[in-house]
Amino acid sequence: MNSLRLPLLESVFSAVNLGAIVLDGQRRIALWNCWMTKHSGLAHEQVLGQDFFSVCPELRGGRVEAAIQYALYNNFPSLLSQTLNKAPFALYARDERIQQAVEVTPIAVEGAPRHCLIQVSDVSIAVAREKLLREQAMVLRSQTFADGLTGIANRRHFDVAMEKEHRRAKRGGTPLSLLMIDIDHFKAYNDHYGHQKGDQCLIQVAAALADMLKRPCDLMARYGGEEFAMILPETDVDKALLMAEAIRARAQALAIPHERNTDPSQLVTVSIGIATQKADAPVEMDALIGAADRALYQAKRSGRNLIAAIQPI
Amino acid sequence: MREWLKGTDRDETMTSTKTVLIVDDSRVSRMMARQYLNGLRAEWVIEEAATGEESLVKARHTTPDLILMDVNMPGMGGIAAAEQLRQEFPAVPISLLTANVQTATRERATAMGIGFVEKPITAARIAQLVATLEAA
Amino acid sequence: MLPTFTLSELENDALIEIFNIGVGHAAASMSAIVNEAVRMSVPSISFIPRVEAARLLGAGSGDSGPERICGVSQHYDGAFETEAILMFPEDKSLEIVRLMVGEAVPLKELTEMEQEAMCEIGNIMLNSCVGTLANIFQRELHGSLPQYHVGTSDQILSATAAGSQADTVVLMLHIDFLLEKHQIHGYVAFVLAISALHDLKDQINLYIARVMGQA
């Protein structure tokens, strides 16, 4: 029975249904199981004996390296949560990068310096489920964030969403675009056609514009009386300009008559101000909103039924 | 950092003795820095200050050749004091002492034209600082 | 019991400086995670009985009863034994998680994934504090993985093995946490057997003597 023990342990280690790596005191790979091979594409002959950080250079200087140091030198285990560490290892299943929960644990070895064990669990399903639950919760929550007249998001919702997306863009290093959309000469519309028709106009425009949103993270909100704001995360200047132009055209295409509009079409038109926070150059949230406002003002001054973009500083 | 600021009320000796001002609210931390510095350069004069405000007073009186400034201090704080000292004594090298070395720290230090030493202060880190100072 | 244990000013200074270095390192790690400037410091420490420690964290304020707090604990043993617990008062726990994880959720709705994120924050902070202590004192320790607790401060401080014993004292660190202009005050509690206190005092003095001796 004793002579079976070692081969048995080796087989079990190889077969466990999670990633298991063991590093020796010099951070060289001592063990690398089948799960790791299957999801990393690296056979264990390729990696055995190699310095861990030459096999995974992208992990240098990060939380994984710190955890390995704590295990080897301080004898402390570490936990890397999936929320704070987005898929640190390059592991794939079903053509997608696996969401990972990682544990790094010190291992005492008789007759050798301390080793460390890295365990990687596939938590993709749990992450997807949480995302779904969160989206559903958001739907429920958004019902208290709706504008009474148009049914789209209200100013309060905008404020909350703006802060969240601004932080998310800064953290993730992604661009963020903000559009300020204002119905041209709306006061004159109200005066001429009456407030009831004014309300109808707002409802129609809001619905048409909100309909143009493509992704769950995009938000269209009623910002003020006849002013709307659109938050477009992960959208750069070019895409924002395209979207703004599409919105401008769509508003006009509604063909709502507006005899008091200065635009030659004599239809309801909108002016749009655009500001984009670049992926590598985050700005203060107020600066982004201020720039979009100034851009809107510029569009108005330049004749209305136009779009204008200003760089936030 | 080629200029030397010489105090007018100090005895001018012809040795390369320097004055170092250590600013840290922790007395043990100041003691340690002093020990490491004097271990390498016994003849150097070590001045101490426990707060940012005190460091300004001490610097004006003793015109140091190097200032070690702890970042994490109550009141004025190390960064504010360092900025002030940078204006009053632009030729004096300053090294921030901090355990919290992050991107913001590095960028701030670079923008101010000063360096930093990571805590815990060790003999090796002080030796490196001394070498850099003398090479200038 | 407790009144006879005090640290001299120098010993107190040394211990606070060591913990400041520990939380400083933790702040640097957390800053890398959230891509924002994070600052942490330990303005003061105190040695208090467990009952008093529980009271510090809102064991009861008026009719509402004891407030619930969120804590992350890790057990350490080897050269010395302690249960280390990172704690934030309820409303502050939400803020920390919200800031670190980037979502706005009430404590009741704290999902498993966010609890895990809180565990990692505790893991980073406690390993940093105890690790710095172990390195500076040159002592060998062994740590455990983090455990998440929600309850009153009294429940959390008693829940751990060390905390349920009678002759324990708590070394309380007051922590100032600054992220995105949010200032949050929290605590790290080390539950220690009284015998461990004298060992701690000896270690601090050995450290001071060792540094001075290197002149």
CATH, residue A32: 3.30.450.20
C116 to chain B, any CB pair closer than 8 A? The answer is no
**Is the Cβ pair A126, C143 closer than 8 Å?**
no
**Is the Cβ pair B26, C39 closer than 8 Å?**
no
Q: According to the model, what pLDDT value does residue A232 have? A: 96
A81 and A180 part of one domain? no
**DSSP string for A251-268:** HHHT--B-TT-SSTT-B-
A116 and A148 part of one domain? no
Please list the pLDDT of chain B residue by residue as tens digits (136 residues): 333 444 444 444 434 789 999 999 999 999 999 999 998 999 999 999 999 999 999 999 998 999 999 999 988 989 999 999 999 999 999 999 999 998 888 888 888 889 999 999 988 999 999 998 888 7
C134 to chain A, any CB pair closer than 8 A? The answer is yes
Q: According to the model, what pLDDT value does residue C164 have? A: 55
A106 and A196 part of one domain? no
Residues of A serving a catalytic function are: 226
Domains along chain C with CATH numbers: 2-213 (3.40.1550.10)
Q: According to the model, what pLDDT value does residue C182 have? A: 81
**Is the Cβ pair C28, B32 closer than 8 Å?**
no
Instruction: Give the chain B residue nearest C135 (alpha carbons).
Output: B120
**Is the Cβ pair C104, A75 closer than 8 Å?**
no
CB burial of residue A37 (10 Å; 0-12, 13-18, 19+): middle
Q: According to the model, what pLDDT value does residue B11 have? A: 44
**Is the Cβ pair A130, C111 closer than 8 Å?**
yes
C32 to chain B, any CB pair closer than 8 A? The answer is yes
A195 and A106 part of one domain? no
B111 to chain C, any CB pair closer than 8 A? The answer is no
Domain end call among A78, A93, A126: A126
Q: Which residues in chain C touch residue B43, judged by CB atoms under 8 angstroms apart?
A: none
Three-state secondary-structure class, residue C40 = strand
CA distances from C49 to B93, C44, C162 (A): 47, 17, 13
**DSSP string for C153-207:** HHHHHHHSTGGGSSSEEEEEEEEEEEETTEEEEEEEEEEEEHHHHHHHHHHHHHH
**Is the Cβ pair B26, C20 closer than 8 Å?**
yes
C203 to chain B, any CB pair closer than 8 A? The answer is no
C107 to chain A, any CB pair closer than 8 A? The answer is no
What pairing do the DSSP bridges indicate for beta strands C38-49 and C168-179? antiparallel
- Is A213 or A138 the better-scoring residue by pLDDT? A213
A76 and A214 part of one domain? no
Helices A285-301 and A155-172 cross at an angle (nearest 10°) of 120
**Is the Cβ pair C101, A84 closer than 8 Å?**
yes
Percent of chain A with pLDDT over 70: 99
Range of the domain at B57: 19-135
A228 and A199 part of one domain? yes
Is residue B88 domain-resident?
A: yes
A111 and A153 part of one domain? no
A170 and A263 part of one domain? yes
Q: According to the model, what pLDDT value does residue A16 have? A: 94
Q: According to the model, what pLDDT value does residue A141 have? A: 66
Q: According to the model, what pLDDT value does residue C33 have? A: 84
A282 and A154 part of one domain? yes
**Is the Cβ pair B100, C43 closer than 8 Å?**
no
**Touching chains B and C? (3+ Cβ pairs < 8 A):** yes
Is the pTM higher than 0.80? The answer reads no
Q: According to the model, what pLDDT value does residue C93 have? A: 63
pLDDT tens profile A213-252: 989 899 999 998 899 999 999 999 999 999 999 999 999 9
Of A66, A62, C38, C34, nearest in space to B105 by CA:
C38
Is residue A131 domain-resident?
A: no
Residues 6+ apart with CB under 8 A from C51: C154
CB burial of residue A40 (10 Å; 0-12, 13-18, 19+): buried
A92 and A209 part of one domain? no
Q: How far apart are CA C38 and CA C28, in angstroms?
A: 7
Q: How far apart are CA A163 and CA A176, in angstroms?
A: 12
Instruction: Give the chain C residue nearest A75 (alpha carbons).
Output: C142
Is residue A162 domain-resident?
A: yes
C114 to chain A, any CB pair closer than 8 A? The answer is yes
**Is the Cβ pair C208, B27 closer than 8 Å?**
no
Q: According to the model, what pLDDT value does residue C185 have? A: 86
Chain B: list its partners (3+ Cβ pairs within 8 Å).
C
CATH number of residue A177's parent domain = 3.30.70.270
Among A34-38, A299-303, B25-29, C207-211, where is mean pLDDT lowest?
Answer: C207-211
| In contact, C37 and B104? CB cutoff 8 Å | yes
State the total domains in chain B: 1
Per-residue pLDDT, averaged over A178-185, amounts to: 96
**C193–chain B nearest CA distance, Å:** 26
Is residue A190 domain-resident?
A: yes
State the total domains in chain A: 2
A161 and A204 part of one domain? yes
- Is A1 or C155 the better-scoring residue by pLDDT? C155
Per the document, the length of chain B is 136
A120 and A162 part of one domain? no
pLDDT tens profile A82-108: 888 889 999 999 889 999 999 999 999
Decide if pLDDT at A254 tops 70.
yes
**Touching chains C and A? (3+ Cβ pairs < 8 A):** yes
CATH number of residue B78's parent domain = 3.40.50.2300
List, as own/partner pairs, every contact residues B80-88 make where C-beta atoms lie below 8 angstroms and the sequence separation is at least 24, other chains included: B80/B52, B81/B23, B81/B52, B81/B53, B81/B55, B81/B56, B82/B112, B82/B114, B83/B112, B84/B52, B84/B56, B85/B55, B85/B56, B85/B59, B86/B112, B86/B113, B86/B114, B88/B56, B88/B59, B88/B60
* Bridge partners of residue A230, in order along the sequence: A179, A220
Please list the pLDDT of chain C residue by residue as tens digits (215 residues): 455 578 899 999 999 999 999 999 999 999 888 888 899 999 999 999 888 888 887 655 555 566 778 899 999 999 888 999 999 876 666 677 777 766 655 545 567 777 888 899 999 999 999 999 999 999 999 999 999 998 888 888 887 655 456 678 899 999 999 987 788 888 999 998 888 888 899 999 999 898 777 53
**C27–chain B nearest CA distance, Å:** 6
Chain C: list its partners (3+ Cβ pairs within 8 Å).
A, B
Range of the domain at A30: 2-126
| In contact, B30 and B22? CB cutoff 8 Å | yes
pLDDT tens profile B77-86: 899 999 999 9
**B123–chain C nearest CA distance, Å:** 9
Domain end call among A97, A126, A155: A126
Q: Which residues in chain C touch residue A63, judged by CB atoms under 8 angstroms apart?
A: 29, 32-33
B30 to chain C, any CB pair closer than 8 A? The answer is no
